[in-house]
């Protein structure tokens, strides 16, 4: 469903993403890991078609992001780091607006909004103005706008950042459900970036780790855990310099 082929992004002398390739199938929830500045957001923005790649390409549901940009974009639901929510709109109105933007046919929009509201647990706030919602509910609205057109691919950039522990639990179980839907719902390929390792263990069965723009690990949580002991050790091994103290080699280590 998602196929990155040697995706590369350079900003002047800095290679933010360096020839990254991977494939993600329907039903997979992949944790995209890396310290701050590793290149996660840049990779995701290229996959969504919002940021042109310097080199390489990606296929989304079989559509090349350069050759068929509109079809590729339509197949993606994207939750950016800062979702473009319209604080003065109510939840339903906003979701209907996004559905229209995403080319959901007029006659199917009401049903699309209904489904997103139900799936994301927004029924009780559907007529509330977005600006007045708690951060947890706003994040659900962010997820709802990502899935309203039922895309086969979901790209979520740090979906639980800034939430309290209860909200984090709720959003995590929501994401897990999105990948294993009930009958009649679309099964999706999900990639989510995070640097919270328990989050990965809670919802992902596979991990891709990037460091300084390069893919350094790609494997199942199970295999990696048995190889390294814990995901934490796997992460440290590939992102810190091999010093006996285990001190972070670069500024802005894993916990920031």
What residues make contact with Mg ion under the rule CB under 5 A? 40-41
Please state the closest distance from residue 158 (CB atom) to ligand ADP, in A: 8
Q: Which of 22, 40, 99, 152 binds ligand ADP (CB under 6 A)?
A: 40
Please state the closest distance from residue 20 (CB atom) to ligand ADP, in A: 11
- Per the DSSP assignment, residues forming a β-bridge with 33 are 194, 209
Nearer to ligand ADP by C-beta: 45 or 149? Answer: 45
Residues 89-108 that bind ligand ADP (CB under 6 A): none
Please state the closest distance from residue 34 (CB atom) to Mg ion, in A: 9
E-strand ranges in 113-256 read 153-157, 189-194, 206-211, 214-220
| CA neighbor of 148 nearest in space, from 85, 102, 181 | 102
39 contacts ligand ADP (rule: CB under 6 A) = yes
36 contacts ligand ADP (rule: CB under 6 A) = yes
- Per the DSSP assignment, residues forming a β-bridge with 3 are 23, 59
181 contacts ligand ADP (rule: CB under 6 A) = no
Scan for tokens 């285990």, then name that residue. Answer: 246
> Which entry of Mg ion, ligand ADP, none binds 70, CB below 5 to 8 A by partner kind?
none
User: Is the alpha carbon torsion for 10, 16, 21, 24 positive or negative?
Assistant: negative
Please state the closest distance from residue 229 (CB atom) to ligand ADP, in A: 25
**DSSP-assigned states of every residue in 121-163:** T-GGGTTSBGGGS-HHHHHHHHHHHHHTT--SEEEEESTTTT-
Taking 3-state DSSP, the helix, strand and coil percentages for the chain, each rounded to the nearest 5, stand at: 40, 25, 35
Instruction: Return the number of other C-beta atoms located less than 10 Å from residue 212's C-beta.
Output: 17
Residues 41-60 that bind ligand ADP (CB under 6 A): 41-42
Nearer to ligand ADP by C-beta: 243 or 251? Answer: 251
Residues 198-237 that bind ligand ADP (CB under 6 A): none
Please state the closest distance from residue 222 (CB atom) to ligand ADP, in A: 25
- Per the DSSP assignment, residues forming a β-bridge with 239 are none
E-strand ranges in 52-124 read 55-60, 63-64, 76-79
Q: Which of 1, 2, 7, 16 binds ligand ADP (CB under 6 A)?
A: 16
> Which entry of Mg ion, ligand ADP, none binds 39, CB below 5 to 8 A by partner kind?
ligand ADP
Question: What angle do the packed helices 135-147 and 91-101 form, to 10 degrees?
Answer: 30
- Give the residue closest to Mg ion by C-beta: 41
Please state the closest distance from residue 77 (CB atom) to Mg ion, in A: 18
Instruction: Return the number of other C-beta atoms located less than 10 Å from residue 44's C-beta.
Output: 25
160 contacts ligand ADP (rule: CB under 6 A) = no
**With contacts defined by CB under 6 A, how many residues of the chain interact with ligand ADP?**
11
Nearer to ligand ADP by C-beta: 42 or 160? Answer: 42
């Amino acid at each position: 469903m998602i196929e990155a082929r040697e995706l590369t992004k350079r900003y002047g002398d800095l290679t933010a993403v360096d020839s990254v390739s991977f494939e993600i199938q329907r039903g997979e929830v992949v944790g995209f890991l890396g310290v701050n500045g590793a290149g996660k957001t840049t990779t995701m923005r290229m996959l969504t078609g919002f940021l042109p790649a310097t080199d390489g390409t990606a296929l989304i549901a079989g559509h090349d992001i350069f050759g068929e940009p509109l079809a590729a974009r339509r197949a993606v639901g994207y939750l950016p780091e800062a979702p473009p929510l319209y604080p003065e709109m109510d939840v339903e109105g906003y979701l209907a607006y996004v559905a229209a933007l995403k080319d959901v046919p007029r006659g199917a929009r009401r049903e699309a909004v209904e489904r997103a509201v139900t799936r994301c647990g927004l029924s009780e706030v559907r007529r509330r103005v977005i600006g007045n919602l708690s951060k947890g509910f706003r994040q659900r609205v962010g997820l709802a706008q990502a899935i309203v057109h039922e895309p086969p691919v979901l790209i979520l950039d740090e979906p639980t950042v800034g939430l309290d522990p209860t909200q984090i639990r709720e959003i995590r179980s929501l994401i897990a459900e999105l990948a294993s839907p009930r009958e009649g719902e679309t099964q999706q390929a999900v990639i989510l970036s995070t640097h919270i390792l328990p989050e990965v263990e809670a919802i992902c069965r596979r991990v891709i780790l990037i460091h300084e723009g390069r893919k350094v690990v790609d494997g199942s949580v199970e295999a990696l855990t048995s190889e390294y002991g814990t995901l934490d050790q796997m992460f440290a091994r590939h992102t810190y310099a091999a010093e006996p103290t285990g001190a972070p080699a670069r500024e802005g280590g894993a916990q920031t």
